[in-house]
Structures are given as C-alpha cells and as structure tokens.
Amino acid sequence: MRAPHCTALTLAMLVWAPLVVDAQPAVAKRPMTFVDIMDLPLIQDPQLSSDGSQVVFVISRPDWKGNRRLGHIYRIDTDGSDQVQLTFRERGESAPRWSPDGKAIAFSARRDSDTNNQIYVLDTAGGEARRVTTHATAPGSIAWSSDSCSSTKSRWSGSRRTCTTARLRGRRCLARRPARR
C-alpha cells in the first residue's frame, strides 16, 4: 500500500514543483548595451616575474565623469591566490614591468604636478612609488637593464627615436641620448 502513495506523492511533487518555480518573479533578460560593455573591467598588460611565481597586470574601469578608463596595477600569485592592488592614485597607472631581480616594478603614471606620464618605481616589499624620470615627453615603452639598476624609455619624434635612461640606484637621474638603429 505504501508504494502507490509514494508514487502518487512523487508525481504530485513533480507536477507541483515547476508551478512553484514559475510563480517566482523572473529576472528580465535583456541584451548587453554599450554601457554594460564599457562597465566591464579590462585586464591588460600582464607581466610574469622573473622567477615565474607572480604576475603584475593592470585592471582598468570606466571613469564616466572623467570620460576615460582608469587603470591600477595589481599583483597576483600564478596559482591564482593573493591578489593585491598595488596602486591607488586618482589618475591611474599603466605599463608595469618587473625588474630582472624581481625586487621592484617600474610603471608609467601621471601623478601630482606631472604634466606628462613619467616612470615610477615601486618596491615589491611595499612603500610608496618614487618618480625616477622628469622629462617633457611621456615614455613610449619601459625596459629594465639586466642589472636592475636603470630603466629606459623610448620615444619616436618624426623619424628619429630617442632613449632616456633613468639611473635607479645612483646619483645620475636622467640622461638623454639618440638611440642606435
């Protein structure tokens, strides 16, 4: 006798359950709009550390009032754990590059009284980034020397490329010289 009651109860539940689910208010589906797409955070410029244990990258989000995307630099372990935001300035930062020894990260930013982007260096142990260039033009790219003592940015002006080298551990801060072709 129990088997027919169990079967009837099971059938009643199977018929009644979809009706209860349909009675719940449904979230209206709609196609994504341009604003929805622009609101998505973008992950850009990932850079693997020399020992392969960490990645620095930029996450940019829209700044609707400023009519731009604002990027900040993050670091994460390659296993996906321990994500940390490294920069927080209101103008944003870009182009992070690990030093060859993995103790510092150079990046491009326009901070405080800067009229153009400059190169800043952040110690991976923590602390505030320090500006290492003071130049009239923004960097085109950032590259470290193999000894982690200097960082170079290049800039094209017409058909001529110039390089600027910033000494990161020394008294000389800036030297400008034409690049060899």
Residues in the chain: 181
Determine the 3-state secondary structure of 176 from DSSP. strand
Q: Could you count the other beta carbons within 10 Å of the beta carbon of residue 15?
A: 9
The neighbouring-strand residues paired with 142 are 153
φ, ψ of residue 2 in degrees (nearest 5): -70, -35
The ranges of the chain with pLDDT < 50 are 1-2, 5-21, 153, 155-160, 169-181
Single pTM value for the model: 0.68
E strand intervals along 65-173: 68-77, 84-85, 93-98, 104-109, 118-123, 130-131, 142-144, 150-157, 160-167
Task: Using alpha carbons, select from 95, 140, 147 the residue that is nearest to residue 122.
Answer: 95
pLDDT of residue 97: 96
Q: How far apart are the first and last CA of the chain?
A: 94
pLDDT of residue 101: 92
User: Across the beta sheet with 175-178, what order do the strands follow?
Assistant: 142-144, 150-157, 160-167, 175-178
pLDDT of residue 145: 82
Tokens representing 68? 């731009």
pLDDT of residue 136: 85
Tokens representing 65? 């009032």
For 45, the enclosing helix (H) or strand (E) is: strand 42-48
pLDDT of residue 53: 95
Q: Which domains does the chain have, with CATH numbers?
A: 34-138 (2.120.10.30)
Determine the 3-state secondary structure of 82 from DSSP. coil
- Tens-digit pLDDT profile for residues 110-157: 998 888 999 999 999 888 999 998 888 888 788 888 775 655 545 444
Task: Using alpha carbons, select from 173, 127, 130 the residue that is nearest to residue 149.
Answer: 173
pLDDT of residue 176: 34
pLDDT of residue 38: 92
